[in-house]
């Protein structure tokens, strides 16, 4: 099990002349997540809410200010880099941009070989065989000529397959997919998602699947965590979250999915929530609930008390009025608008 | 996003297209760069000029019509003629032969200066750009300090310590060049270090040394190669300048700059003695810059199309 507990990370945005922090940004605020073998936890939220930072904390690419990442009982944060290498094999990344996530000056084969070499896996003959097997598995040509190709010779979808092959070749237990299909066109996206689903079944992989798009997440998530301004605002089984969203932000995200899969969509209400306004400046988080300036359900209490993430209806939610959100066709001042004809 | 899931197993696809989307057939980035450079006529001509000069310098003992230091007092200050293509100087020495031997000193000094500058500046630059933090701050401060001193003054004071001579000049110029190489290498490494693939190999378990040598250096080196070719022209120029001031090759040996200096004493009676060295220096420097610019364009084109 891969478990992150109470991760915290702030960035300094501005310093004064004496080097003291003037403005800082709480990118990840008390985030706890758990990825289990064979299951997918989706982390969703709009751009800049801290998803990638969370991923990098888990991948040990950044050190958290507080909190811990534990892999099968072993603490990873602060682990000496020599020891960390062995555990890095078990948690592999796939990043969003298929154009910048492969070294342009390295052939596909030499890149795959290098990954095996880093972890001392196989003789050089075995490495070539493994590389061919994994390329074949992700649906790419695997002949020796394919191994000697450069990333520049592949399309976006193919590069993302290469990135997946790179993650798989060292036989990890967990894969952190940061917007792994977001840059692909719709049909390629579907193929790559299916590949990910098949691979998970085959190898009992645990996925942390990061996306801003609930429509994509729906296809493979077992659990969903919704992030807003660095905090998890709702976290629970995918079915619960999709069918019975209890945080206004989750509802707004779901209502923004243009053509929902009827099976998975929450009982369609006659009204839907549209979040007004832009995401607030993350360096100036409002006091109280950080969503309150965009929230159609907000009351005075929301300005005074930051709702804590707590158990509600079989999931965790951080909202003072979760039961209202769940049960109501709440309408307030035009911020909850009529659902248009689908 | 409404991705309908296709449940058929992932099919092997022809490389070069996916979902009908055609993909440019690529080659290695280095080869693509070379191809772009070869397509650049002017740059190729400039490079050929430099190569010819280099070859003539190497072959000077074979191709030079006369001993460069042989004096012939019956043939002093002869204008260019069939016997002496570039004429003779006040001691009756054949200028063409002296230019050919001088090329060894001038081109050699520029080459040594560029090599030394790169050797001193590039690796620290890559390291600073890749690691950032205190490593970067320390090395950058040091570079700034060196760059505060104007290159010529730095060179002259180094020569004051080690004495005049072509090698000394080359070393002094090389030291003065090092900060420029540092800056270019640092900038290139900085942008490569921000690339996702660096993050990806780090997350996959690659150590800093491997990441730097296998991923940052290969991708940042084209910027350094461009810089080196541009610095070659500048090295020639600085060497010529220092030799002109008398810090370079000592008589009877003479680099192009030293020949220009001697020739400048005969502006009235033998203009060719200064015009020819001056012209050759200019051509060589221009050729270096044009070739460097061509290389720069090739790198940029390759980068924008090779993605
Ligand atoms: N190194 C950094 N220094 C300063 N601020 C940073 C740094 N990295 C991230 N941030 C800020 O932290 C916040 C969270 O960034 P992050 O990349 O984690 O968001 P994200 O949810 O992945 O967004 P996106 O969907 O755009 O990828 C953003 O406001 C970003 O500007
Ligand atoms: S706590 Fe208040 S402001 Fe925050 S989401 Fe719930 S209702 Fe909205
Ligand atoms: Mg991101």
Q: With H, G, I as helix, E, B as strand and everything else as coil, classify residue A67.
A: strand
Per-residue pLDDT, B29: 76
Per-residue pLDDT tens over the stretch A245-288: 999 999 888 887 765 455 444 444 445 666 666 667 778 788 88
Give CA–CA dist B43/B150, Å, rounded: 30
Residue closest to B194 by CA, chosen among B216, B164, B168? B216
| Yes or no, beta carbons of B26 and A93 under 8 Å apart | no
Q: What percent of chain A has pLDDT over 70?
A: 89
In the predicted model, is pLDDT for residue A331 greater than 50?
Answer: no
| Yes or no, beta carbons of A153 and B29 under 8 Å apart | no
Complex-level ipTM: 0.83
Ramachandran angles phi, psi of A294, nearest 5°: -115, 5
Structure tokens at A19: 């080097």
Please state the domain extents for chain B. Answer: 30-56+87-306
Per-residue pLDDT tens over the stretch A139-157: 898 888 889 899 888 888 8
Per-residue pLDDT, B4: 40
Name every residue whose Cβ is closer than 8 Å to that of residue B286 and which is 6 or more positions away in sequence: B46, B233
Q: Which helix (H) or strand (E) holds A7?
A: strand A2-15
Per-residue pLDDT, B15: 44
Per-residue pLDDT, B304: 56
Shortest Cα distance, chain B CAs vs residue A142, angstroms? 9
| Yes or no, beta carbons of A150 and B27 under 8 Å apart | yes
Residue closest to B238 by CA, chosen among B140, B142, B116, B145? B116
In which band, very low, low, confident or very high, does the pLDDT at A219 lie, cut at 50, 70 and 90?
confident
Question: Residues in chain B with pLDDT < 70?
Answer: 1-27, 302-307
Q: Is the CB of A218 under 6 A from ligand 1?
A: no
Q: A305 alpha carbon to ligand 2 midpoint, in Å?
A: 10
Residue range A13-38: mean pLDDT, rounded: 88
Q: Does B2 touch chain A (CB under 8 A)?
A: yes
Per-residue pLDDT tens over the stretch A84-98: 888 899 999 999 887
Q: Does B209 touch chain A (CB under 8 A)?
A: no
β-bridge mates for residue B74, sequence order: none
Query: Exposed (0-12), middle (13-18) or buried (19+): which is A327, by Cβ within 10 Å?
Result: exposed
- CATH class held by domain B30-56+87-306: mainly alpha
Residue closest to A230 by CA, chosen among A313, A326, A309, A174? A309
Give CA–CA dist B95/B76, Å, rounded: 11
Q: What percent of chain A has pLDDT over 90?
A: 51
Cα maximum dimension of chain A? 68
Per-residue pLDDT tens over the stretch B142-152: 888 888 888 77
Residue closest to A108 by CA, chosen among A151, A168, A158, A170? A151
Closest protein CA for atom 24 of ligand 1: A47
Q: Which chain A residue shows the shortest CA-CA distance from B16?
A: A154
Ramachandran angles phi, psi of A228, nearest 5°: -140, 125
Give CA–CA dist B10/A97, Å, rounded: 21
- Using CB atoms, pick whichever of B206, B214, B307 lies closest to residue A99: B307
Residue closest to A198 by CA, chosen among A161, A159, A236? A161
Residues in chain A, total:
342
Per-residue pLDDT, B251: 80
Q: Is the CB of A47 under 6 A from ligand 1?
A: yes
| Yes or no, beta carbons of B205 and A139 under 8 Å apart | no
Q: Which of A226, A319, A322, A336 to mutate to test the pocket of ligand 2 (most atoms within 8 A of CB)?
A: A319
Per-residue pLDDT, A207: 96
Name every residue whose Cβ is closer than 8 Å to that of residue A113 and which is 6 or more positions away in sequence: A124, A127, A128, A131
Per-residue pLDDT, B5: 39
Helix axes A156-169, A124-137, angle to 10 degrees: 130
In the predicted model, is pLDDT for residue A117 greater than 90?
Answer: yes
Shortest Cα distance, chain A CAs vs residue B192, angstroms? 10
In which band, very low, low, confident or very high, does the pLDDT at A342 lie, cut at 50, 70 and 90?
very low
Q: Name the average pLDDT for chain B.
A: 84
Shortest Cα distance, chain B CAs vs residue A320, angstroms? 31
Per-residue pLDDT, A235: 96
Q: Are A266 and A338 in contact (CB under 8 A)?
A: no
Per-residue pLDDT tens over the stretch B157-167: 888 888 888 88
């Amino acid at each position: 099990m891969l478990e992150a507990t109470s991760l915290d990370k702030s960035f300094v945005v501005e310093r004064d002349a004496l080097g003291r922090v003037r403005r800082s940004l709480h990118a990840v605020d008390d985030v706890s997540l758990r990825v289990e073998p064979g299951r997918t936890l989706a982390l969703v939220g709009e751009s800049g809410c801290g998803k990638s930072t969370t991923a990098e904390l888990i991948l040990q690419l950044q050190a958290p200010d507080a909190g811990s990442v534990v892999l099968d009982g072993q603490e990873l944060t602060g682990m000496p880099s020599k020891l960390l290498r062995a555990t890095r094999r078990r948690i592999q990344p796939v990043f969003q941009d298929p154009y910048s996530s492969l070294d342009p000056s390295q052939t596909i084969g030499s890149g795959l070989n290098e990954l095996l070499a880093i972890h001392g896996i196989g003789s050089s003959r075995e490495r070539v065989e493994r590389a061919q097997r994994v390329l074949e598995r992700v649906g790419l040509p695997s002949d020796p000529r394919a191994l000697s190709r450069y990333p520049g010779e592949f399309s976006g979808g193919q590069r993302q397959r290469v990135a997946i092959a790179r993650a798989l070749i060292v036989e990890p237990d967990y894969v952190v997919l940061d917007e792994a299909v977001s840059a692909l066109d719709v049909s390629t996206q579907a193929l790559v998602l299916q590949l990910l689903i098949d691979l998970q079944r085959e190898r009992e992989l645990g996925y942390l699947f990061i996306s801003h798009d609930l429509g994509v997440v729906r296809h493979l998530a077992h659990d969903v965590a919704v992030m807003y301004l660095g905090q998890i605002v709702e976290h629970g089984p995918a079915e619960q979250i999709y069918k019975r969203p209890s945080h206004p932000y989750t509802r707004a995200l779901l209502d923004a999915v243009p053509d929902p899969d009827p099976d998975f969509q929450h009982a369609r209400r006659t009204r839907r929530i549209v979040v007004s306004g832009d995401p607030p400046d993350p360096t100036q988080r409002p006091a109280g609930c950080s969503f309150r300036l965009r929230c159609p359900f907000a009351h005075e209490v929301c300005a005074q008390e930051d709702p804590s993430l707590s158990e509600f209806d079989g999931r965790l939610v951080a909202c003072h009025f979760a039961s209202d959100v769940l049960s109501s066709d709440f309408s307030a001042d035009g911020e909850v608008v009529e659902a248009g004809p689908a | 996003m409404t991705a309908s899931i296709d449940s058929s197993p992932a099919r092997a696809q022809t490389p070069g297209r996916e979902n009908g989307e055609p993909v440019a057939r690529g080659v290695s980035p280095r080869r693509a760069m070379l191809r772009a450079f070869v397509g650049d006529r002017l740059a190729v001509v400039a490079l050929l000029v430099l190569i010819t000069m280099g070859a003539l310098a190497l072959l000077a003992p074979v191709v030079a019509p006369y001993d460069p230091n042989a004096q012939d007092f019956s043939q002093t200050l002869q204008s260019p003629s069939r016997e002496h293509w570039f004429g003779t100087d006040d001691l009756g020495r054949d200028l063409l032969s002296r230019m050919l031997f001088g090329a060894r000193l001038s081109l050699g000094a520029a080459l040594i200066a560029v090599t030394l500058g790169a050797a001193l500046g590039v690796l620290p630059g890559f390291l600073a750009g890749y690691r950032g933090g205190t490593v970067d701050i320390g090395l950058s401060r040091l570079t700034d300090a060196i760059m505060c001193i104007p290159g010529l003054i730095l060179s002259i004071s180094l020569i004051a310590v080690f004495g005049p001579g072509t090698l000394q000049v080359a070393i002094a110029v090389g030291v003065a060049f090092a900060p420029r190489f540092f800056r270019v290498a640092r900038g290139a490494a900085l942008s490569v270090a921000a690339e996702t693939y660096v993050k990806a190999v780090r997350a996959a378990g690659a150590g800093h040394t491997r990441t730097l040598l296998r991923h940052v250096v290969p991708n940042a080196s084209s910027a350094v190669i461009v810089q080196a070719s541009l610095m070659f022209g500048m090295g020639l120029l600085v060497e010529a300048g220092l030799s002109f001031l008398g810090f370079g090759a000592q008589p009877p040996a003479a680099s192009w700059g030293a020949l220009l200096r001697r020739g400048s004493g005969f502006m009235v009676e033998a203009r060719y003695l200064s015009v020819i060295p001056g012209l050759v220096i200019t051509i060589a420097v221009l050729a270096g810059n044009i070739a460097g610019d061509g290389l720069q364009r090739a790198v940029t084109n390759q980068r924008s199309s090779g993605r």
